[in-house]
Amino acid sequence: MNQATTLKLAGTTALITAAFAAPAHAAGSVTLYGLVDVGYQYQKFKGQDSTSGLTSGGQAASRWGLRGSEDLGNGLQANFTLENGFDITRGTASQNGRLFGRLAWAGLSGGWGELRLGRQTLAATDYTGAFSPFGTSFQLASGGQSINSNTTPRADSTVKYVSPTMSGLQATLSYSFNANLAQNSDGGGVAPSSRSDRVFSAAAHYKAAKWQLIGYYQGASLGRETSSGGSHADVSPREYGIGGSVELGVFTLHGGFAQHKDAYINGVASGNTGQTALFKGGKVNGYTLGVAVPVGTGTLLASFQLSDPNDSVVRSGQQAENQKVYSVGYTYPFSKRTNAYAYVSYLDGAWFDNAGTGVAADDWNATHFAVGLRHLF
C-alpha cells in the first residue's frame, strides 16, 4: 500500500469517525453501569429448618442501568436514569418483574438544583445509609431493621427536588402521587385516583470534613382499603429520624434514631428484611449504633439495632416485644471495583408471622450468614 493510499484511507476514516461522533455529541452522553453480587448464604429461623445455597445480592442487590445527560446550554442539563434489578442466580428481574424497577426517571438540573420525575427512591432514603456502617445493604445487617427509610423504598409517579449543596448543606423533597401504580390502579398505570397511596418525604443533610448529620420526615396517605396483616384503612403511617456518622481517628461511628407511627417494622419474614406492617395507634422507636474500622487491607463492620414498640402493636393476640439485631462483617477489596465480603447477623425478639408458619412475637430468633463477591462495572 503506497503513501497516497494510506493518507486517503486515513482521511476517509477520520470523516466516518466525525460523522458518527457528531450525532453522538448532539445526543449527549449515555453510560452503561451496574453491579453483580453473588455468594453463599445460610439462614435459620426458629421453628423452621435451616436453608442454604447460592444467593444474589448478599451485600448489595445486583443491577444494571443506563445513565444519560445532555447539555442544553445556559447552565441547564437534561438527565435520565433507567435501572433494572435482577437475581443473578436465576437470571430473573427483581421488583416484581419490572423492567426498570429500581429507577426510571427523567429531569432537569442547573445551578438551582435538580428536578426528577418518575419511579425513584424517597428523599430520606438518599441519606439514611449513613446511620449504619452496613448502610442500606447486607440484608439483615442493614440499618433498615430499625430505621425504615433505610430499606431503600421506591415509589412510582414521584416528583423529587434535590437542592444544590450550600456550605455543606443539601435538602431533598419528594412526593409520590401514586406509590404503586401496578397495585393501586385498575388499568396498571392509569392516573392517580382516590385509592392512590400518596407519600411525602423530606430530608436535610449537612456534611463537614469528618462528620455528617441527617434529619428527615416522611408520611403516607393510604387510599387502598385493606384488612390483611393487621392493617387498617384509616392509618396514616409516618416517620421521622435523625442520625449520621463521625470519624474518630481510624474509627467511623454511625448512629441514628427514628420514630414510626401507625406502623411497625418486621425484622425478617421468610428472607425478606425490613418489611413494614401497619397498626392503628402503633408506635415504635428505632435505634441503630455501629462502627467501621480498617483491619488489614479491608474493613471490619459491626452494629447493634433495637426496635421498641408500644402496646398497640399486637398480632395473633400477642404483644410485640423489643427486637434486637446484632451484626458483624468484613469487606476485602481486590480492586476499586471488586470486593469479597462475609457477615453474620442474629435477630432476637419480636417478629410477626407473614408466612403462615405460626411463629409470632417475642419467643423467636433468626440467624443469617453470607459470604460472597461483589463486582462493579
Whether the Cβ atoms of residue 346 and residue 326 lie closer than 8 Å to each other = yes
Which pLDDT value is given to residue 228?
A: 42
The set of residues, in sequence order, having a beta carbon less than 8 Å from that of 187 and lying 6+ positions away, is: none
Q: For residues 369 and 295, what is the distance between their CA atoms, to the nearest angstrom?
A: 20
The set of residues, in sequence order, having a beta carbon less than 8 Å from that of 14 and lying 6+ positions away, is: none
∠ CA(181), CA(120), CA(80), 5° rounding? 115
Phi/psi at 15 (nearest 5 deg)?
Answer: -65, -45
Residue 71 has a CB neighbour count (10 Å cut-off) of: 12
Whether the Cβ atoms of residue 62 and residue 35 lie closer than 8 Å to each other = yes
Give per-10-residue mean pLDDT for the chain (377 aa).
41 40 59 98 88 95 97 97 97 92 97 97 94 93 82 89 98 92 42 66 97 95 55 75 97 96 66 63 92 98 93 70 92 98 90 48 79 98
Q: For residues 17 and 253, what is the distance between their CA atoms, to the nearest angstrom?
A: 52
Q: For residues 161 and 200, what is the distance between their CA atoms, to the nearest angstrom?
A: 12
Which pLDDT value is given to residue 222?
A: 77
Q: For residues 236 and 218, what is the distance between their CA atoms, to the nearest angstrom?
A: 11
Q: For residues 99 and 103, what is the distance between their CA atoms, to the nearest angstrom?
A: 10
Cell 425478617 belongs to: 268
What's the whole-model pTM score? 0.84
Which pLDDT value is given to residue 356?
A: 45
Which pLDDT value is given to residue 27?
A: 53
Nine-digit cell string for 193: 385516583
Nine-digit cell string for 240: 421521622
Q: For residues 227 and 374, what is the distance between their CA atoms, to the nearest angstrom?
A: 40
Dihedral of CA atoms 332, 333, 334, 335 in degrees, nearest 10, equals 180
Q: For residues 54 and 56, what is the distance between their CA atoms, to the nearest angstrom?
A: 7
Whether the Cβ atoms of residue 97 and residue 146 lie closer than 8 Å to each other = no
Nine-digit cell string for 207: 456534611
Q: Where are the alpha helices (DSSP H) in 118-272?
A: 181-184
Which residue in 18, 94, 110, 17 sits closest to 62, CA to CA?
94
